[in-house]
Amino acid sequence: MASAPLPLDEHRSKVLRYLRGLDLSIAAVAGRIIAERMPPDGARDPVRPSLVLWACAANGPEVADALPVAAAFALFDGFMVLHGELADGSASTVARWGLGQSLNAGDALFALAFRTLASDVRNPGRRLEAARLVGEAVLEAIALSDERAAQAALTGAALHAGAVVGGADEHVARSFARAGRLIAKSAAAGDPALAERFSRRAVAALRRHAPPEHLRDFEEVAVYVAQRAA
């Protein structure tokens, strides 16, 4: 039986198409490691990169300038996963390729993410601000020992950056950032009632800032995330 469509599935498909078009040719073992970790077409991957496009669309009519930002988040997600595996010694990658090559792959993923973040730029000012937000969030996530707080920082930055690229003013963009952190807290809650409470607060944070049709899409995300946390 076919699985039900994910929330923001159209945005997710755009991100995957953009990722497939990236030049990931690295003449080293690191390139092979990265290729193995790229999300396949059918992967039921996290919604964070899709939320970048959603936040952009909720603030402006064109999402093309947000596509590299969304793809960069997907690459940073891969970097953070590998970083965590190396930190706790659980990486099967190390057993297969060795510590040195695994570290090289992490460095390469980090560089690819920032190269992507600076690619296909249409509005330099907004993209530069988005890059600053992403860099700060990655640094915060690396510094945090609490995985849940790290995920909240990254998801908050995803919505914040998407809103900025879409043309939101500072006050509105910060509301999107708050909603992103609350969605991440819902995903990590572990308790169904607590997850639902965080999801409701995330939707409420955007009620005055997102058009009704976009808010409905975000409500679907909130329900999906809360159900996964149950």
**Using one digit for the tens of pLDDT, what is the confidence trace for 40-78?**
544 445 689 999 999 999 999 889 999 999 999 999 888
At the topology level, CATH places domain 9-36+46-229 in Farnesyl Diphosphate Synthase (1.10.600)
> What type of residue sits at position 186?
S
Are 163 and 82 in contact by the 8 Å Cβ rule? The answer is no
> Six-digit token pair at 61?
């009519």
- Arithmetic mean of pLDDT, 182-191: 91
> Six-digit token pair at 11?
């945005």
Cα(205)–Cα(219) distance, rounded to whole angstroms? 12
Mean pLDDT of the chain: 87
**Using one digit for the tens of pLDDT, what is the confidence trace for 122-156?**
999 999 999 999 999 999 988 887 888 999 999 99
List the domain boundaries for the chain: 9-36+46-229
